[in-house]
Amino acid sequence: MDAKERMKIPRHKMPEQKPEERRKNFNEVPFGYPEDIAMEEAQRCLQCKKPSCMKGCPVEVNIPAFIKLVAEGHHWEAIKKIKETNSLPAVCGRVCPQESQCESMCIVGKKGEPVAVGRLERFAADFERKAGKAAKPDLAPPSGKKVAVVGSGPAGLTVAGDLARMGHKVIIFEALHKAGGVLVYGIPEFRLPKEIVQAEVDSLVDLGIELQLNEVIGKADTLDELLQNGFDAIFVGTGAGAPIFMNIPGENLIGVYSANEYLTRSNLMKAYLFPQYDTPIIKSNVVAVIGGGNVAMDSARTALRLGAKEVNIIYRRSKDEMPARAEEVHHAEEEGIIFNLLTNPIRYIGDEKGKVIAVECQKMELGEPDQSGRRRPVPIVGSEYIKEVDTVIVAIGNGPNPLIPNTTPDLQLNRKGNIVASLDTCKTSKRGVFAGGDIVRGAATVILAMGDGKVAARSIDAYLKDPAWWDRPAPEPQPEKKKE
Ligand SMILES: Cc1cc2nc3c(=O)[nH]c(=O)nc-3n(C[C@H](O)[C@H](O)[C@H](O)COP(=O)(O)OP(=O)(O)OC[C@H]3O[C@@H](n4cnc5c(N)ncnc54)[C@H](O)[C@@H]3O)c2cc1C
Ligand code: SF4
């Protein structure tokens, strides 16, 4: 097939559950490509000599090579190819913002719709899981060096996988009772099933990585104690798990949740299976979710599935400025979530028992762009109104987990409390300690956290081979990012 014929093949949609069905269940929304469709979609790739798509992939997947293997029906080889650089392909194929990463740079996208790189990655990863065995990468001989990875989110899992491949002994310490970080406690089942994360964690454990769950570093051992007790290096990937509130009246009323608490209760502690699981969650009728990012969409769609009759997103800018993935906004709209745009809450109102019964909102208009490049929301005086609600979920952002910074005085932090680390090396101000993912960047994305994991693994390997490496380039200051 020549390039012209390939360009004529339309991008394939992924079959998915109908909105009226899926709004009542927690099953995954898209079903994934069947084999024939995946192979046809893979034919759309032009096999560019200088593949621009790869420039948009922080974990350096050899995109044309794996797509060619799918097109030829060599799916096992395709997943092996992906796993040469990506330890979490089933995760990336589902939640990675491909539209603004690899796919945004695909050459086919210049004239039409880009090749569905993410959906093909998901297909290859699902093929492996359905085959019931894992494609195991080659491991270097044991180096005799030992590395502690703190946190088992995408950053920690990636650094651990790469270091294990390089022959180093890795122990991951995770505060929660399940590995995966936001992938398990934040992102809901209908977007990323827990068994899929677990399968990817299992295949990392298969490489010899040790996983110590329920281990809170900073409470159990400090970083200094880990370094004194035989670890040659440490990677800190503790994420941004601390909720941020707006500091408006009524935020401590019963029924006002942080998105973190709400989603953790539902996801990780299976509150939606109450009373089989002893983790109650509020029974809602009318819900207000504050924010416009992925976390807000996940909270709103979770509330709907938990039985709420009406779920409102309240977002202070317009739809164009929403940080959530376009696909997730679309899914939420299809499911009947109501979008109150250019609207901001100014206080929550409670009853005599301290339970939230309403939210007072104010309408906004867009002014000049602010430092984030997005137009600043400006309140419209006199536009205040009251909306009756019985549950509020605040999803306006997350801050860094403070425990490790608090117990490691010589770790340099920025003014928001994030660890300062060079984005080129993940090196921190403390010798032998590297950091990446949300604890450094602030709330970002899975693929950026994984990209940091890869960078850190290379740096740690260089440091373990030659400790003088540490003294060469100085850590650069971490640029601060503005986020909703
Ligand atoms: C609801 C929600 C939806 C999202 N949706 C998307 C999406 O669709 N696409 C996307 O790309 N990104 C999404 N994100 C963002 C993405 O999940 C994060 O950017 C990413 O998970 C960051 O990875 P991380 O490894 O840095 O940290 P995390 O995933 O936060 O993992 C950190 C881990 O460290 C553990 N930990 C913390 N402190 C300690 C300690 N002291 N000792 C031991 N362990 C500790 C935590 O328990 C946690 O397991 C979403 C985030 C949320 C909250
Ligand atoms: S840029 Fe697009 S067409 Fe070219 S190799 Fe990458 S996925 Fe294929």
pLDDT, tens digit (0-9, with 9 covering 90-100), for 441-474:
998 899 999 999 999 999 999 999 999 999 986 5
Number of alpha carbons in the 13 Å side-chain half-sphere of residue 409 = 0
Check whether residue 95 and residue 17 sit in a common domain: yes
Q: Would you say 313 and 31 are in contact if contact means Cβ atoms under 8 Å apart?
A: no
**Residue 43, domain CATH:** 1.10.1060.10
In this structure, the residue with its CA closest to atom 1 of ligand 2 is 106
The total of structural domains in the chain comes to 3
Record the tokens describing residue 206, joined without a space: 């298969």
Check whether residue 213 and residue 324 sit in a common domain: no
pLDDT digits (tens, 9 = 90+) for 398-451: 999 889 999 999 999 999 999 999 999 999 999 999 999 999 999 889 999 999
Check whether residue 201 and residue 324 sit in a common domain: no
Check whether residue 354 and residue 436 sit in a common domain: no
What is the extent of the structural domain holding 85? 3-131
CA of 225 relative to ligand 1 center, distance in Å: 25
Residue 209's nearest CA partner among 313, 87, 322 is: 87
Say if 293 falls within a structural domain.
yes
Best mutation site among 158, 172, 234, 294 for ligand 1, i.e. most ligand atoms within 8 A of its Cβ?
Answer: 294
Query: Could you tell me if the CB of 150 is within 6 A of ligand 1?
Result: yes
Q: Would you say 300 and 340 are in contact if contact means Cβ atoms under 8 Å apart?
A: no
Query: Could you tell me if the CB of 426 is within 6 A of ligand 1?
Result: no
Say if 17 falls within a structural domain.
yes
Among residues 131, 155, 184, which one ends one of the domains? 131
- Type of residue at 200: E
> Average per-residue pLDDT in the chain?
92
CA of 182 relative to ligand 1 center, distance in Å: 4
Among residues 371, 398, 425, which one ends one of the domains? 398
Q: Would you say 421 and 434 are in contact if contact means Cβ atoms under 8 Å apart?
A: yes
Between 326 and 121, residue with greater pLDDT: 121
**Predicted local confidence at residue 477, as pLDDT:** 53
Least confident of 364-373, 380-389, 457-466: 364-373
Ligand 1 nearest atom to the CA of residue 173, by list position: 43
**Residue 230, domain CATH:** 3.50.50.60
Kindly report the pTM of this predicted structure. 0.91
Say if 103 falls within a structural domain.
yes
| pLDDT classification of 282: cutoffs 50, 70, 90 | confident
CA distance 118 to 93: 5
| pLDDT classification of 478: cutoffs 50, 70, 90 | low
The stretch 270-279 carries a mean pLDDT of 76
Query: Could you tell me if the CB of 455 is within 6 A of ligand 1?
Result: no
CA distance 24 to 21: 6
Say if 236 falls within a structural domain.
yes
CA distance 117 to 55: 13
Say if 480 falls within a structural domain.
no
Q: Would you say 44 and 16 are in contact if contact means Cβ atoms under 8 Å apart?
A: no
CA of 87 relative to ligand 2 center, distance in Å: 22
Ligand whose nearest atom lies closest to the CA of 118: 2
In this structure, the residue with its CA closest to atom 4 of ligand 2 is 48
Residue 437's nearest CA partner among 383, 393, 384, 401 is: 401
CA of 66 relative to ligand 2 center, distance in Å: 11
Dihedral over Cα of 11, 17, 19, 23: its sign: negative
**Predicted local confidence at residue 68, as pLDDT:** 97
Q: Count Cβ atoms below 10 Å from residue 262 Cβ, excluding itself.
A: 27
CA of 361 relative to ligand 1 center, distance in Å: 30
CA of 483 relative to ligand 2 center, distance in Å: 31
In this structure, the residue with its CA closest to atom 8 of ligand 2 is 45
The helix or strand, by DSSP H or E, that contains position 146, with its residue range, turns out to be strand 146-150
Ligand 1 nearest atom to the CA of residue 440, by list position: 26
Phi, psi of 233 (to 5 degrees): -160, 160
Ligand whose nearest atom lies closest to the CA of 295: 1
Q: Count Cβ atoms below 10 Å from residue 326 Cβ, excluding itself.
A: 12
Query: Could you tell me if the CB of 256 is within 6 A of ligand 1?
Result: no
Check whether residue 391 and residue 254 sit in a common domain: yes
DSSP-H helix ranges across 166-214: 182-185, 194-205
CA of 239 relative to ligand 1 center, distance in Å: 5
